Amino acid sequence: MVDEIGMQFLSSHGKTKSGNDVIFSWLARYQNAAAAGADAVNGTIGALLEDNGELAINTVVDSALREAPPVEFAAYAPLKGLPPFLDLAQTLALGEYRQSLETLGVNGMATASPGGSGALFLAASNFCERGEAILLRDRHWGPYAGFLKGCGLEMATYPLLPSNENTHYPMFDSEAFSTELERLATSQSTVMTWLNDPAHNPTGLSLPSESRYALLNLFMESATRHEDVGHTLLIDSAYHLYADEPHGWAETILEALENGLPWPENLLICFAVSLSKSHTIYGLRTGALVCIHPEEETLEKLREVMGVTGRQTWSAAPRVAQYVLSEMHASESGGASWSLERDRLANLLVERRETFVKACTELKVPVNPTHDGFFAWYECDDPVAVAEKCAEMHVYLVPLRGGVRIGLCAIPLHQIPKVAQALKSAHQ
């Protein structure tokens, strides 16, 4: 169509940007059904809603924002971020393990970014040579593809779950991962893997500690064997503060170091931190890329590279939430009140997930393992047909590649059993 009508002003790479956006088209179908008076279920969107359908807002964050001085709204932030926020970002990424990691000589740096998306962009644009592939699980957040493409990168994948029962680690296909890792490490000059864990979008999967350890061990070993190949492990922690083990990755890294695993110089570990969900400030676009490494010179160079990348892309990240949240978490009572409210919101998810898994078990609907965060997942060969069948019962879900995403974050508790019934009718 674009070619037919000319559009000579669009570059060839601009013309390839198409296909927006399956989530919003299924949301529109829900909205139309609800407007027509149907008792419709909205399992489409990726924001946490209260049981009454309103956007869930962490009221402690909201009140703190409203008290911020005008200058904190109006002024630019420093290009790399406000220093207290950069410190907070590291604590949000590493939690109670930060101190012990530092004691073992592993320090961190952070660069503020517009949301977790900005942090992913910083990583995509700097840690992988153009034309090379980033290693992902085959089920992943759709926009990853666009970030990679925009930075001239390719994608390599391994299965989300092991295909046979004989695998060594729960919910981690160590064989497929290490085969792909070795292939990339022997054919590329950089290797980067992105892992949205815990509380994976779109499945809600969280890796247990033994699988985290196995993955880290394979990655560290690969870095040791291929000392000229940069190895970056990026943990996308967009939902980690709603998970049972929010800082499991920091714990696993610490455990590896305490067990004497050497940290190769060519290994970098990063966290793409997003405050969008954890602090319910989706629209304030606040996040950070946190990098940890034993060498201070490495961290210093990364500060420069990330600061310059941000400057050349979005200038500085928005200031007001950086200011407000670092003040809030610096005060013991502020942090405690935020976490009480976060617990209330997390509990909405826990109740919905437990109800969903129970209903699916009773109806023998084979949903994927789902542990934390906003979503659950029904793996299937024809996701559109399944979503259409569910829509016949006015249950609106999102068909993606390889399955259907169930937005537990958006579905009121009382409607959850109906979702399981709709999937059951699609499954037969």
Query: CB-based contacts of 235: which residues, under 8 Å, 6+ apart?
Result: 93, 195, 197, 249, 269, 270, 271, 272
Q: Does 141 bind ligand PLP (CB under 6 A)?
A: yes
Task: Determine which residue in the list 178, 190, 193, 201 makes contact with ligand PLP, applying CB under 6 A.
Answer: 201
Q: Which is nearer to ligand PLP, 115 or 162 (CB)?
A: 115
Residues 80-119 that bind ligand PLP (CB under 6 A): 115-117
Q: Which is nearer to ligand PLP, 121 or 263 (CB)?
A: 121
Q: Which is nearer to ligand PLP, 46 or 108 (CB)?
A: 46
Q: Which is nearer to ligand PLP, 141 or 169 (CB)?
A: 141
Q: Does 238 bind ligand PLP (CB under 6 A)?
A: yes
Least distance in Å: CB of 403 to ligand PLP?
A: 16
Give the residues across from 133 on adjacent strands: 154
Q: In this structure, are residues 414 and 60 in contact, taking their beta carbons and an 8 Å threshold?
A: no
What are the Cα distances from residue 399, in Å, to 20, 258, 270, 340, 361?
Answer: 14, 43, 30, 34, 21
Q: Which is nearer to ligand PLP, 46 or 403 (CB)?
A: 46
Residues 275-314 that bind ligand PLP (CB under 6 A): 276, 282, 287
Least distance in Å: CB of 110 to ligand PLP?
A: 15
The alpha-helical segments, DSSP class H, found in 331-411 are 332-363, 383-392
Task: Return the closest-CA partner of residue 151 out of 128, 181, 119, 117.
Answer: 128
Q: In this structure, are residues 325 and 61 in contact, taking their beta carbons and an 8 Å threshold?
A: yes
Q: Does 206 bind ligand PLP (CB under 6 A)?
A: no
Task: Return the closest-CA partner of residue 291 out of 239, 235, 245.
Answer: 235
* CA pair distance 339, 150, nearest whole angstrom: 36
- Closest residue to ligand PLP in the complex (CB): 115
Site string for ligand PLP, 33-52 (x = CB under 6 A): -------------x------
* CA pair distance 326, 330, nearest whole angstrom: 6
Strand order in the sheet with 398-400: 375-379, 403-407, 398-400
The site that binds ligand PLP (CB under 6 A) totals a number of residues, namely 13
Q: Does 193 bind ligand PLP (CB under 6 A)?
A: no
Least distance in Å: CB of 281 to ligand PLP?
A: 9
Binding site for ligand PLP (CB under 6 A): 46, 115-117, 141, 196, 201, 236, 238, 274, 276, 282, 287
